[in-house]
Structure 1
Amino acid sequence: MTPRIYWQAKHPGISLKIFLRNLRAHAGLDLFHAKNPKVAVQLNVTRHPYSFNGDSPPSNTPQGEEKTWHDGLLPYCGGSEKTRAAAESQMQALASIAGIRFDYGVQTNWHPVDSQRLMWWAGRHGKQEEYMSALAHRHFECRESASHATTLLKVVEEVGLSIEAAEKFLAGGELSEEVWRSYGSTIHEKGIDAIPFFVFNGPGSNGGPFRQGPGKATIIRGSADPKTFLQVFQELCDNQGK
């Protein structure tokens, strides 16, 4: 019988760095399967919406009038064009390793509430990860903003969900308060001041910033290569029978 392993992974929502790290996490899982061809893995992912601006008041900028990612990075880099250029160059270099190219001309809202509401909505239909992967591709590579309803509905259709149902959900405002609560709690309560932030739970571990149970979670902060994720998966596998 093929052994089955059940793990939990938690991390915030869409960001350029998280998009890259997700690709590396998948690469790490591929390495794990190559090393453990007879082991089946079920990885349950819980995403927590995150904004660098936390739950500060929104800008209320109309859709289509947002600053581009390039322009929005300038204040984040202390107003230094040199620092911004270095940051963009570094991220582009990392992206090239994954075989993709980022488009910094995409318009961005630092509080993409609707995209993250739909993330949870898609999860109700078993499509959360498909939705996020498709949205990240359009946002970061195709200059189709995750803050625009037209993009969100394209992604909904792409992953096989109902556009009509999605429009009805968005119009109702459901989960808006929960997204804003996550913006605040991830920073003020959990102390997460940078992303990506991966939390892995497995056998003997039900603790960490998002759980109150026993055991110690495995946490990956910031940059990590596929071999780092391989190590995490392997340790979880080795602990399965303990």
Structure 2
Amino acid sequence: MQLDVVSDTVCPWCYIGKKRLDQALVMHGGEGITLAWRPFQLDASIPAEGVDRKAYMEKKFGAERAKEVGNTIREFGEAVGIDFRFDRIERSPNTLDSHRLIRWAGTAGCQNEMVDILFRRYFEDGEDIGLHEVLLEAASEAGMDVDIVRDLLSKDADKELIRQEDALARQMGIQGVPSFVINSQWVMVGAQEPEMLVRMFNKLLAKEAEATAAQ
């Protein structure tokens, strides 16, 4: 079973969704499931240097609503072991380069770990994941070849491919993240509870086994 998770690196619900997915994979065992992370930019219009996060969030939600949303997210985060520290985040970055890094991490065999690293660095450590130096530190933490990543980041490598994958997700009807795409056919939207994901895994894997046996 191919499981593609469509997410953005600055989406707090995607971080929560990942923690729940990790729990589901432990509960299930993960056998027969191939996992990949796919890009989605919630706001591709943010400039490469990023924008002031407080002003950005207040413009998007309003000051009071932004505070309420943050409090709600913190509560859900605590339940899965995330210490959201929105007070540490100064910049809302453009996430294109972080998605490039996640793609390269897939080739290096550490994609799932890289997603975790970027979420933690942004949401808990308050680091600007739009900065190349931060992305290089993340690559080093994941055990990637930093010199290769530095060279790729300095060029336009895979930028257009990331944009195309983002566009494909939207063509599939995906408007919110996280979204779980199973075998390029079925889509579940939202940070699903682990038990729900396990039931989905079992149901679809059983169908695959039946189809294989019938051949």
Smaller-chain TM-score bracket: 0.7 to 0.9
Report the 3-state secondary structure (helix = DSSP H, G, I; strand = E; otherwise coil) of the residue aligned with 1:193. coil
Q: Deviations over 1:140-166 (max 9, x none)?
A: 111112111121111111111111111
The structure whose RCO (Cα within 8 Å, separation 6+) is larger is: 2
Decide whether the 8 Å contact of 1:10 with 1:46 is kept in 2.
yes
Aligned match of 2:6: 12
Structure 2 unaligned regions, length at least 5: 211-215
For the aligned residue pairs, the C-alpha RMSD in angstroms reads 1.9
Runs of 4+ in 1 over 6 A off after TM superposition: none
Secondary structure of 2:154 counterpart: helix
TM-score normalised by L of structure 2: 0.87
Whole-Å separation in 1 of the counterparts to 2:154 and 2:31: 37
SS in 2 for 1:194: coil
- Counterpart Cα distance in 2 of 1:71 and 1:97: 28
1 or 2, which has the higher helix percentage?
Answer: 2
The answer on 1:89 being equivalent to 2:71 is: yes
Partners of 2:14 and 2:191 within 8 A in 1 = no
| Correspondent of 2:103 among 120, 124, 127 | 120
1:48 is displaced (CA, Å) by: 2.3
Partner of 1:10: helix, strand, or coil?
strand
Looking at structure 2, the residues matched to 183 and 108 of structure 1 have their Cα atoms a distance apart, in angstroms, of 19
Unaligned runs of 5+ in 1: 1-6, 34-39, 202-206, 209-216
One-letter amino acid matched to 2:52: K
| Cα distance in 1 for residues equivalent to 2:59 and 2:47 | 15
Q: Contact between 1:114 and 1:170, CA under 8 Å: does it hold in 2?
A: yes
Task: Pick the aligned partner of 2:166 from 183, 192, 213.
Answer: 183
Which residue is equivalent to 2:122? 139
Structure-2 residue corresponding to 1:67: 52
| 1:46 alignment counterpart | 36
Partner SS, residue 65 of structure 2? helix
Q: 1:183 to 1:67 in 2, by over 3 A?
A: farther
- Aligned pairs (5 A) from 1:221-232: 221-232=189-200
Taking only the aligned residue pairs, the percentage that are identical comes to 19
Quote the Cα distance in structure 1 between the aligned partners of 2:32 and 2:55. Answer: 40
Q: Is residue 22 of structure 1 aligned with residue 18 of structure 2?
A: yes
SS at match of 2:127: coil
2:60 equivalent to 1:76: yes
Q: Distance between the aligned counterparts of 1:47 and 1:154, measured in 2?
A: 20
- 1:117 deviates by 0.9
Q: Deviation at 1:42?
A: 4.1
Counterpart amino acid of residue 192 in structure 1? I
After superposition, the Cα gap between the structure-2 partners of 1:89 and 1:59, relative to the gap in structure 1 and judged at 3 Å, is: same
Structure of greater Rg: 1
Alignment-derived partner of residue 169 in structure 1: 152
Distance 1:73 1:42, change over 3 A: farther
CA distance in 2, matches of 1:134, 1:42: 25
Note the alpha carbon deviations across 1:39-93, whole angstroms, 9 max, x for none. x614322322111235x5x534x36xx312x44222332xx22221221111000
- Cα contact 1:12–1:48 (8 A) shared by 2: yes
